[in-house]
Amino acid sequence: MSDLFENDLFENKAEDWDAGDMKQILSQAIGGAMVQEVSFLPTQHVMDFGAGTGLICSAIAPHVQKIMAVDISPSMLERLAAKPELKGKVATVCQDILDCPMDEKFDVIVSAMAMHHVQDTDAMLQRFYEHLQGGGQVALADLDAEDGSFHPADAEGVYHDGFDRDALQHKLEQVGFQDVRFETVTTVFKDDKTYPIFMVMAFK
Ligand SMILES: C[S@@+](CC[C@H](N)C(=O)[O-])C[C@H]1O[C@@H](n2cnc3c(N)ncnc32)[C@H](O)[C@@H]1O
């Protein structure tokens, strides 16, 4: 087994992930916004980057042909693979596509709350672009720029305290994405603080 998978940062979280109220509220808001804003088609092949236990896949699966759930956490993907409602519709790939791209292209790439776990945002967006069909679309949800209090101070694998929208739009455009559009999908209230969550959509 590679070092990557031995160091599964979500191993202790996977079992109870779906039971967390915040996870459910977030994934319902994000998944709902994706279904409403992206014109999914029953012929489409979608990648869910950082799919985790499949909360977003569950929202999207009824609207598309198939989903490739990409994640680097074997324990999170194990939970996803055990969900009967996703069987036959969602395949899992435990692979870091930044290091090792897939030999496959997608009509849409979605992602929820995973981008802040990836150190090199430019390289990640470049990979998304490369993995899209011409005219394909991304719908990416994450935290707006915050003061670092969203995660515990000792949280491992958190590389960004959210994202500044203008800076992220610039990065998307640098890679080649067009028609970049943001919306606020929900706001998390935690310990007297508010954390807006954006979804950015853009086309290849
Ligand atoms: C906060 S969880 C979100 C999971 C899921 N999208 C959801 O909304 O419930 C972040 C996920 O991103 C995954 N992740 C972190 N770095 C990654 C990478 N380089 N490639 C793919 N997935 C990654 C983690 O393993 C984890 O499952």
- Report phi then psi at 203, rounded to 5: -120, 150
Of 6-10, 20-24, 28-32, highest mean pLDDT: 28-32
**What is the pLDDT averaged over residues 11-30?**
89
Q: Is the pLDDT of residue 115 over 90?
A: yes
92 CB less than 6 Å from ligand 1? no
Atom 15 of ligand 1, nearest CA residue: 117
In this prediction the pTM is 0.96
**What is the pLDDT averaged over residues 4-15?**
80
11 CB less than 6 Å from ligand 1? no
Higher pLDDT, 60 or 20: 60
Q: Can you tell me the distance from the alpha carbon of 120 to that of 115, in angstroms, rounded to the nearest whole number?
A: 9
52 CB less than 6 Å from ligand 1? yes
Q: Among 3, 7, 73, which residue has the most ligand 1 atoms within 8 Å of its CB, making it the best to mutate?
A: 73
55 CB less than 6 Å from ligand 1? yes
Q: Can you tell me the distance from the alpha carbon of 109 to that of 49, in angstroms, rounded to the nearest whole number?
A: 7
- Count the residues in the chain: 204
Across the chain, mean pLDDT equals 95
Q: Can you tell me the distance from the alpha carbon of 75 to that of 126, in angstroms, rounded to the nearest whole number?
A: 27
SS3 136: strand
Q: How confident is the model at residue 6 (pLDDT cuts 50, 70, 90)?
A: low
pLDDT of residue 1: 45
Q: How confident is the model at residue 172 (pLDDT cuts 50, 70, 90)?
A: very high
pLDDT of residue 3: 53
Domain definitions of the chain by residue range: 3-203
51 CB less than 6 Å from ligand 1? yes
Question: What number does CATH give the domain 3-203?
Answer: 3.40.50.150
pLDDT tens across 69-92, in order?
999 999 999 999 999 999 999 999
